[in-house]
Copies of this chain bind each other. A is one copy, B any other.
Amino acid sequence: MLIRVGFDIQFQIPAEVALVVLLNVHPSRVSDLLEPDELQAGPAVPVRNYTDSFGNRCSRLVAPPGLLRLTNSTLVRCPDEPDEVNEAGRELAVRDLPDDVLVYLLNSRYCEVDRLSKVAFELFGLIAPGWGRVQAICDWVHNKVEFNYQHARPTKTALDVYTERIGVCRDYQHLAITFCRALNIPARYATGYLGDIRVPLRLPMDFSAWFEVFLDNRWWTFDARNNIPRLGRILMATGRDASDVAITTSFGRADLVHFFVVAEAVMETLAHTDQDSSASRSTATLRV
């Protein structure tokens, strides 16, 4: 399966401002790219890439006053299978976790492990360790939290989600991550593209959030928001929580004026022969 992903994000910039953006496909998916994955800035200010301590490909730029437009479009090969499920996946004892995984057991800005530790044990402490326990956490969060775009706010933490029971995709993942960590299960936040055929058409598409859990010596995808295996996730970044992997961070004022994201499955034959023709591509488009 091929998926065309891309975005057109525009800011009004009142005064020169530095930005860090996480708008590339994750290094782990570079071999799946069928087209270049280069962020375009307009005006054409220099964009410098670097890799952060979590292994994400970040970009830095300085935007002059006026309109800043960030765009990109690339084509990614995806497995025809949905997220892997491994019901036999085992939790590792902390003693057996790799060193670089330990950080994903700790507190972070939106994941107050210290404040939800007792609750996590009460809810999930008696469930058999392993994949099933992580799934139980996802089920709980999925069933108890109501999705509502109106109640999103940037400062909402896992504890807020636990008490308010309302949120958007990042909020679901923050709460599930926090419960996992409280049980000594490493969990990290993930952001990327996820097409969606079920979302009402009038709802503008956004980047999506899910999370990853370390079981059986590798990271696995979970998603407390959707809570079913999905096709076509394209990872952009992972971190401790949303604070580490904000799509765009401006160090000064930058007013978002346009936001468009796309992630669409494309017919492989068309994609190969005519991948630059947006007219034909759009007819060949099938939302994931």
A125 to B81, CA, bound (A): 41
* Interface membership of A154, Cβ < 8 A: yes
Say yes or no: A112 contacts B112, CB within 8 Å. no
Given contacts A108-B108, A109-B108, A118-B144, contact A102 B20 (CB under 8 A): yes
Which residue on chain B has the smallest CB distance to residue A106? Answer: B243
Q: Which residues of B contact A159 (CB under 8 A)?
A: 163
Copies of this protein chain in the complex: 4
**A contact residues, total (Cβ < 8 Å):** 44
Say yes or no: B52 contacts A95, CB within 8 Å. no
A211 to B145, CA, bound (A): 32
Q: Which residues of B contact A153 (CB under 8 A)?
A: 151, 153, 164
Say yes or no: B164 contacts A115, CB within 8 Å. yes
Q: Which residues of B contact A150 (CB under 8 A)?
A: 150
Q: Which residues of B contact A93 (CB under 8 A)?
A: 18
Which residue on chain B has the smallest CB distance to residue A244? Answer: B106
Which residue on chain B has the smallest CB distance to residue A163? Answer: B115
* Interface membership of A155, Cβ < 8 A: yes
A236 to B184, CA, bound (A): 25
Secondary structure at the A interface, as helix, strand, loop or mixed, is mixed
Say yes or no: B115 contacts A155, CB within 8 Å. yes
Q: Fill in one digit per residue for A133-165: 1 if any B CB lies within 8 Å of its CB, else 0.
A: 000000000001000001101110001001111
A145 CB, nearest partner CB in chain B, Å: 10
Q: Fill in one digit per residue for A88-119: 1 if any B CB lies within 8 Å of its CB, else 0.
A: 00000111000110110111110110111011
Say yes or no: A114 contacts B155, CB within 8 Å. yes
* Interface membership of A60, Cβ < 8 A: yes
* Interface membership of A53, Cβ < 8 A: yes
Which residue on chain B has the smallest CB distance to residue A144? Answer: B118
A244 to B104, CA, bound (A): 11
A150 to B150, CA, bound (A): 6
* Interface membership of A260, Cβ < 8 A: no
A247 CB, nearest partner CB in chain B, Å: 14
Say yes or no: B251 contacts A60, CB within 8 Å. no
Q: A114-B154, A118-B144, A119-B162 are in contact. List 17 more A-B contacts (CB 8 A).
A: A18-B93, A52-B99, A53-B100, A53-B103, A58-B99, A94-B252, A106-B109, A106-B244, A108-B109, A108-B243, A109-B109, A115-B155, A115-B163, A151-B153, A153-B153, A153-B164, A184-B251
A selection of 12 A-B contacts at a CB cut-off of 8 Å is A18-B94, A53-B53, A58-B99, A94-B251, A103-B244, A108-B243, A115-B163, A116-B163, A118-B144, A118-B165, A150-B150, A155-B164
